[in-house]
């Protein structure tokens, strides 16, 4: 018989006072469970991200208990943790509204105060089914029956509450934090099926300290102010409407910003040896069948029919890039070929998932495909990582993390190909000096990938850039080159993007900068405005001087008070305002007012040269 130690005792023995769970040979479990000797043990503490998630998971159960105690007959469904909190889905005769939140929170605090012991039990599938049937919990019964296991784990809060769960959990409800807040309630179909029951989903957040909770709530308020959709409306950048769901109507100011961003990326990649191409929007299904997309991605593609042929609007650019590569004979001396495309793609995202510019159906990628040899994967990956890091710094993002996504369950290719491609990508990433975390099973269906995650000024994370290793698509689509030994070989294809999509990245920039984007990206870089109409001719002359210097300039000669005009341009996030009055005209000067509030009066020539230099895009 294997000798075991209890997690509580072992934590005490090792002097770990804030342990909430334990990892035994890579698997997390409750402190109340036995730990065999000669196993690798790590403790999860309350102040760790894993500990915070366990506390939130327990608090989700406390939320479900509180609702059941307040409204008898409530049936509970699922209650997972999510970013910064958790939710629980319930079927309740009482329509829960935000007015009920205070009552629910009070009941939750009572449950925490009572400190019910949380205990884990293992039941057979039959026993678990019978128990939940007896308790009138049909959603739990369905989950039990669908689980591919002979035994189930349940968790009890004393004799007051029981739930189906894998755990782990805190040892008692009293270990949960009182610093929580219910955030909102929404409708959610059971298992996402519109033909099933409509449940009430209660969202909540929970933190270990009052300060963390207050900071999170403050950030939410700030995020609401920074909502890119509101900023886009206020600054007249773009709009969306029901007649074209998930597609953006760009207004002149927004399109100017869009082109400034695209031109910047174009300059950066040209310096890195990329050539730019453009491929068709609609392609016959036969090519998508050859590439594997028809089988693996069909449900996300928009389909059109013409003259008896099925055509797909491209959801991605890679098959088209291969068609260009195949034109003419390629030698190993030609590789690597770095082929860039600002490709407009369409994907049939669910309407409920669409969100401003962040989640759309029509978007343009800063896409590129690098055709290379096996020996070039390492150097090309490192070059890309350095370019990406430089671009992010130019955009004002000094901090990003890297996820390594390995083979998904739904994939093409042999295990041998996946083993090699994963190994090579990991080696190149380490040699580029980047640490990464494993994103299990989230690779593309044709190969592993790196995902680059930005952190904005509110601490929110955004997955943007990516690079993917693909041994398979060039082979499927018949791309080859003549190797040094004279043999035909298939190139390796690196799929890569830095921004991800221009639409989404502009949304991220608007929220990161609260609408006041860097001067080089601003649709209007300077406004020339007059104090009185007497200076109109001089203002027009200055306006033309800035325009000749390629500074995006706007002229404001409205017969309004100068204080009103300045205030209006500040609200529109104009970075520089050139104020012209009789004194400026007399001395051939300009008074420049900057976004931070400071101002200076300088000669026209100096002002034009200064603003021209300030408004230049980063050179990398």
User: Which of 3-12, 189-198, 378-387, 469-478 has the lowest average pLDDT?
Assistant: 3-12
Q: Class assignment of domain 524-614?
A: alpha beta
Q: Mind listing the pLDDT tens digit for each residue in 464-478?
A: 999 999 988 999 999
* Contact by Cβ (8 Å): 101, 67: no
356 vs 572: CA distance, rounded Å: 20
Listed in order, the ranges of the chain carrying CATH 3.30.980.10 are 49-224
- The CATH code of the domain at 234-512 is 3.30.930.10
Query: Of 495, 472, 474, whose CA–CA distance to 324 is shortest?
Result: 474
Which are the catalytic amino acids?
A: 318, 347, 365, 367, 369, 449, 495
Question: What integer pLDDT is reported at residue 2 of this predicted model?
Answer: 45
pLDDT higher than threshold 90 for residue 37: no
- The CATH code of the domain at 49-224 is 3.30.980.10
Average confidence (pLDDT) over 583-605:
94
Q: Mind listing the pLDDT tens digit for each residue in 143-167?
A: 999 998 899 999 999 999 999 999 9
77 vs 222: CA distance, rounded Å: 33
Q: Mind listing the pLDDT tens digit for each residue in 79-112?
A: 999 989 999 999 999 999 999 999 999 999 999 9
* Contact by Cβ (8 Å): 36, 1: no
53 vs 49: CA distance, rounded Å: 6
Query: Of 177, 8, 21, whose CA–CA distance to 109 is shortest?
Result: 177
* Contact by Cβ (8 Å): 500, 548: no
Question: What integer pLDDT is reported at residue 3 of this predicted model?
Answer: 52
* pTM > 0.85: no
Query: Of 515, 487, 503, whose CA–CA distance to 572 is shortest?
Result: 515
* Contact by Cβ (8 Å): 44, 26: no
User: Which of 12-26, 394-408, 495-509, 530-544 has the lowest average pLDDT?
Assistant: 12-26
Question: What integer pLDDT is reported at residue 4 of this predicted model?
Answer: 64
User: Which of 9-13, 287-291, 306-310, 509-513 has the lowest average pLDDT?
Assistant: 9-13
Average confidence (pLDDT) over 595-610:
94
In this structure, the number of other CB atoms found within 10 A of the CB of residue 101 comes to 17
468 vs 428: CA distance, rounded Å: 12
Listed in order, the ranges of the chain carrying CATH 3.30.930.10 are 234-512
In this structure, the number of other CB atoms found within 10 A of the CB of residue 349 comes to 17
Q: What's 117's DSSP letter?
A: B
Name 532's Cβ contacts closer than 8 Å, sequence gap at least 6: 581, 582
Q: What is the mean pLDDT of the chain?
A: 93
Average confidence (pLDDT) over 289-293:
89
Question: What integer pLDDT is reported at residue 136 of this predicted model?
Answer: 95
pLDDT higher than threshold 90 for residue 398: no
Where residue 6 falls among pLDDT bands split at 50, 70, 90? confident
Where residue 194 falls among pLDDT bands split at 50, 70, 90? confident
pLDDT higher than threshold 90 for residue 499: yes
Listed in order, the ranges of the chain carrying CATH 3.40.50.800 are 524-614
In 3-state terms the chain splits into helix, strand, coil percentages (rounded to 5) of 40, 30, 30
């Amino acid at each position: 018989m294997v000798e075991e130690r209890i997690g509580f005792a072992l934590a005490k023995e090792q002097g770990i006072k804030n342990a909430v769970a334990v990892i035994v040979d890579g698997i997390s479990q409750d402190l109340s469970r036995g730990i065999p000797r000669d196993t690798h043990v790590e403790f999860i503490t309350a102040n760790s991200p894993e500990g915070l998630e366990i506390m939130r998971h327990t608090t989700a159960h406390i939320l479900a208990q509180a609702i059941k105690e307040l409204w008898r007959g409530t049936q509970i469904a699922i209650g997972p943790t999510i970013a910064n909190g958790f939710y629980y889905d319930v079927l309740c005769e009482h329509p829960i509204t935000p007015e009920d939140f205070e009552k629910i929170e009070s009941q939750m605090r009572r449950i925490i105060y009572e400190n019910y012991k949380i205990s884990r039990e293992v039941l057979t599938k039959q026993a678990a089914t019978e128990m939940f049937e007896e308790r009138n919990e049909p959603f739990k019964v369905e989950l039990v029956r669908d689980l591919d296991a002979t035994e189930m784990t349940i968790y009890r809060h004393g004799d007051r509450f029981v739930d189906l769960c894998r755990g782990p959990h805190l040892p008692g409800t009293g270990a949960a934090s009182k610093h929580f807040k219910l955030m909102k309630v929404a409708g959610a179909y059971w298992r996402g099926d519109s033909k099933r029951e409509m449940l009430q989903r209660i969202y909540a957040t929970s933190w270990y300290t009052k300060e963390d909770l207050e900071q999170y709530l403050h950030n939410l308020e700030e995020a609401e102010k920074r909502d890119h959709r509101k900023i886009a409306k206020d600054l007249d950048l773009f709009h969306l409407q029901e007649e074209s769901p998930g597609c953006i109507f760009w207004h002149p100011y927004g399109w100017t910003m869009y082109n400034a961003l695209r031109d910047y990326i174009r300059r950066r990649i040209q310096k890195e040896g990329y050539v730019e191409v453009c491929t068709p929007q609609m392609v016959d299904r036969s090519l998508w069948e050859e590439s594997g997309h028809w089988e693996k991605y069909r449900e996300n593609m928009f389909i059109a029919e013409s003259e008896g042929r099925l055509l797909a609007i491209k959801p991605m650019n890679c098959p088209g890039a291969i068609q260009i590569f195949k034109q003419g004979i390629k030698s190993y001396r030609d590789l690597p070929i770095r082929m860039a495309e600002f490709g407009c793609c369409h994907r049939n995202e669910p309407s409920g998932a669409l969100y401003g510019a962040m989640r759309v159906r029509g978007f343009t990628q800063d896409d590129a495909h690098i055709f290379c040899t096996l020996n070039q994967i390492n150097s090309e990956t490192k070059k890309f990582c350095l370019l990406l890091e430089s671009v992010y710094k130019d955009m004002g993002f000094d901090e990003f993390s890297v996820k390594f996504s390995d083979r998904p369950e739904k994939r093409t290719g042999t295990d041998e190909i996946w083993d090699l491609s994963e190994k090579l990508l990991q080696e190149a990433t380490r040699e580029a000096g980047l640490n990464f975390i494993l994103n299990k099973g989230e690779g593309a269906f044709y190969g592993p990938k790196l995902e680059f995650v930005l952190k904005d000024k509110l601490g929110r994370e955004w997955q943007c850039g990516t690079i993917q290793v693909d041994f398979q698509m060039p082979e499927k689509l018949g791309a080859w080159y003549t190797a040094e030994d004279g043999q035909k070989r298939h190139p390796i294809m690196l799929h890569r993007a830095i921004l991800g999509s221009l639409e989404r990245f502009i949304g991220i920039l608007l929220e990161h900068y609260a609408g006041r984007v860097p001067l080089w990206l601003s649709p209007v870089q300077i406004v020339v405005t007059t104090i009185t109409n007497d200076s109109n001719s001089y203002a027009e002359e200055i306006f033309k001087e800035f325009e000749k210097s390629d500074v995006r300039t706007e002229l404001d000669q409205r017969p309004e008070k100068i204080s009103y005009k300045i205030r209006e341009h500040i609200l529109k996030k104009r970075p520089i305002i050139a104020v012209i009055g009789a004194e400026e005209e007399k001395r051939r000067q300009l008074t420049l007012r900057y976004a931070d509030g400071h101002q200076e009066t300088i000669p026209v020539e100096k002002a034009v040269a200064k603003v021209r230099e300030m408004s230049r895009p980063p050179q990398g």
